[in-house]
Amino acid sequence: MAAAAHMDLVYQFIDATTKLALAQRLLLFALPLVLLLHVASRSRRKQAKPLPPSPPRLPVLGHLLHVGARPPVSLRDLAARYDPGGGGLMLLRLGTVLSLVVSSPRAARAVLRTHDHAFASRPPSRIVDDLVYGSSNVGFAPYGEYWRRARKLVTVHLLTAKKVRSYRAARQEEAGLVVAKLREAAAASAAVDVGGAVNAFANDIICRAVCGKFFREEGRNRLFRELNHMTTVLVAGFNVEDYFPGLASFLGVFTRFMSNKVSQTHQRWDMLLEEIISDHERRRIADHWSGAGGGGGGGDDDDDEEEEETDFIDVMLSVQEEYGITRDHIKAILMDMFEAGTATSSLVLEFAMVELMRNPHLMAKLQDEVRRNTPKGQEMVKEENLASMAYLTAVVKETLRLHPPAPLLIPHQSMADCDIDGYTIPSGTRVIINAWAISRDPKSWEKAEEFMPERFMDGGSSADIDFKGKDFQFTPFGAGRRMCPGANFGLATINIMLANLMYCFDWMLPEGMEKEDIDMTEVFGLTVHRKEKLILVPKPPHDTFAHPMHT
């Protein structure tokens, strides 16, 4: 037994010695390979292009504290300090998320045109996923086959120039309702909340386009307005998971609170949209059996521009199988329409009125144009009168320049490593386009901080610049693949209402208030709005020849 044990020890020793020798040989063989790989790696690192400039950052928080309560302003100031060359690219770590800030027309062109294919996606968001049916709306959907189908549906069937024209009578009718209320206030010399009035108008226009003439049933238009506000607050608010995605499990109480708010809002949206879609399905069935037809695909094949007004829900139900979209997809796209359609139009209208009140000589110039180009005795401006109102167009463009409704646009996300101006932009980087800063860049704009509609008139310094995605110093609707498809719809809403506000009324500030007293403090989020309400007093116009009722 002792001899056997002794032999076992001998064999173990020999086995260990053999293994050690083998390991030594492997090490000697692998060492040159390891050194070679190390040298090659260092060489690649030296050859790789550097990251864009970046400010000093704090542990864990990164650059979050640099952003502050006015992100477009603080990001512009940071870029001026840490991007002295003016290339317009700055890299931040917002929490644990790598974020590229774009602050110049040249950099915006690189992201939105030259490398548009690499930056065409959206960063993931748990809140948007839970609110909007897995981010299946057009605005937030990740780049891919579904997004392409949804975008095509919207651009081909819902927001074409012809479809926008088909709502001409609806816009006229809704504008007339606003004007009637304002005339009541003018007769009583009462002050009105102009921002609230134009927000209700923009919401009612989109409600009518989406739901048809029954949108006021059971106060649905007011409910849509309330849900729009709740959605904006949730999406634009500070969401910890967006900046620290790996810490969600450690933030249980906070995330549960947010999840409950999001869930409640989503459920309210879902119940309302389901009810309205079901109403449309019942009407389509009844129309079919009565031989009236179901509204078809929106009438885009009809050459008559005065086509019958068919709402978005009818159109989407008619093409649902063709585009392979589900009921939830329809609801998500409708939510997109409400959010984008209401916010853009109402914010631009309110800011236009604010700037005109601060510049009475410009308001007088616009009123003169509108009243000269509207037939004498006509009670309201009609859309066919707008074509000859070049200064109206210039006022709207200048308002969009100084006050873009989405000052940081909707963030993009890089889908692959990309080189821009000698810098490497890693895959997965969130991209923030500071449209607010770009449209106030003194290198691109004369007297950039002043409200000067004349710059967009013939002979003006920026007469040839437009917002259709080709001039990157002016991108209030974005550019490239992810450009907002609803620009024409929004502009049609803005133009008819602003023209009638100028035609039907003279405007005064409340007694004791001067134009210098107007508070221009802005509150930034997904969109930007004024902190204070715009309270004005409408008066019947001095040139009463415009209105038979006042002669």
pLDDT at residue 471 greater than cutoff 80: yes
Q: Which residue has the higher pLDDT, 246 or 173?
A: 173
- Token code pair at residue 440: 């106030």
Burial of residue 399 (CB within 10 Å: 0-12, 13-18, 19+) is: buried
Task: Provide mean pLDDT across the span 20-31.
Answer: 41
Q: Are 431 and 119 in contact (CB under 8 A)?
A: yes
pLDDT at residue 11 greater than cutoff 80: no
Per-residue pLDDT, 487: 93
pLDDT at residue 9 greater than cutoff 80: no
Q: How would residue 256 be classed by pLDDT, with cut points 50, 70 and 90? A: low
The rounded mean pLDDT for the chain is 85
Q: Which residue has the higher pLDDT, 502 or 8?
A: 502
- Look at residue 412 and tell me if it is in a domain: no
pLDDT tens by residue, 140-149 = 999 999 999 9
Written as one string, the DSSP assignment of 121-152 is B----HHHHHHTTTT-STTTPPSSHHHHHHHH
pLDDT at residue 163 greater than cutoff 70: yes
Q: Inter-axis angle of helices 360-372 and 487-504, to 10 degrees? A: 90
Per-residue pLDDT, 244: 85
Q: Are 438 and 104 in contact (CB under 8 A)?
A: yes
- Token code pair at residue 421: 């101006």
Q: What is the CA radius of gyration of the chain?
A: 29
pLDDT at residue 358 greater than cutoff 90: yes
Q: How would residue 240 be classed by pLDDT, with cut points 50, 70 and 90? A: confident
In the chain, how many H helices and how many E strands? Answer: 18, 11
pLDDT tens by residue, 90-100 = 999 999 999 99
pLDDT at residue 296 greater than cutoff 80: no
Q: How would residue 222 be classed by pLDDT, with cut points 50, 70 and 90? A: confident
Q: How would residue 243 be classed by pLDDT, with cut points 50, 70 and 90? A: confident
Q: How would residue 549 be classed by pLDDT, with cut points 50, 70 and 90? A: very low
pLDDT at residue 13 greater than cutoff 70: no
- Look at residue 61 and tell me if it is in a domain: no
Count the neighbouring beta carbons within 10 Å of the beta carbon of residue 45. 8
- Token code pair at residue 267: 């459920």
Please give the model's pTM, rounded to 2 decimal places.
Answer: 0.86
Number of domains in the chain: 1
- Look at residue 416 and tell me if it is in a domain: no
Q: How would residue 26 be classed by pLDDT, with cut points 50, 70 and 90? A: very low
- Look at residue 383 and tell me if it is in a domain: yes
Q: Are 430 and 123 in contact (CB under 8 A)?
A: yes
Per-residue pLDDT, 306: 46
- Look at residue 468 and tell me if it is in a domain: no
Per-residue pLDDT, 27: 38
Per-residue pLDDT, 285: 83
Q: Are 113 and 106 in contact (CB under 8 A)?
A: no
pLDDT at residue 484 greater than cutoff 90: yes
Count the neighbouring beta carbons within 10 Å of the beta carbon of residue 513. 14
- Token code pair at residue 278: 């079901």
Detail the DSSP E strand segments found in 207-347.
none
- Look at residue 529 and tell me if it is in a domain: yes
Q: Please tell me which of 66-70, 172-176, 205-209 the model is most confident about, judged by mean pLDDT.
A: 172-176
- CATH number of the domain to which 148 belongs: 1.10.630.10
Rounded to whole angstroms, how far apart are CA atoms 253 and 150?
36
Query: Among residues of the chain, what percentage have pLDDT more than 70?
Result: 83
Q: Is 504 annotated as a binding residue?
A: no
pLDDT tens by residue, 167-179 = 999 999 999 999 9
- Look at residue 414 and tell me if it is in a domain: no
Question: Which residues are CB-contacts of 180 (< 8 A; sequence separation ≥ 6)?
Answer: none
Per-residue pLDDT, 238: 74
Per-residue pLDDT, 242: 84
- Token code pair at residue 358: 């601060």
The per-residue b/e assignment along 277-307, b for 16 or more CB within 10 angstroms, e otherwise, is beebeebbeeeeeeeeebbbbbbbeeeeeeb
Alpha-carbon distances, residue 334 vs 38, 230, 327, 340 (angstroms) = 54, 16, 11, 10
Q: Inter-axis angle of helices 327-358 and 145-153, to 10 degrees? A: 60
- Look at residue 224 and tell me if it is in a domain: yes
pLDDT at residue 297 greater than cutoff 70: no
Task: Provide mean pLDDT across the span 209-223.
Answer: 79
Q: Which domain holds residue 182?
A: 119-401+446-454+481-550
pLDDT tens by residue, 32-60 = 443 444 444 444 444 468 999 999 999 98
Alpha-carbon distances, residue 166 vs 169, 273, 312, 387, 468 (angstroms) = 8, 23, 12, 17, 22
Q: Which residue has the higher pLDDT, 302 or 465?
A: 465
- Token code pair at residue 544: 């009463």
Per-residue pLDDT, 120: 97
pLDDT tens by residue, 319-353 = 999 999 999 999 999 999 988 888 889 999 999 99
Task: Provide mean pLDDT across the span 24-31.
Answer: 41
Per-residue pLDDT, 68: 85
Burial of residue 85 (CB within 10 Å: 0-12, 13-18, 19+) is: exposed
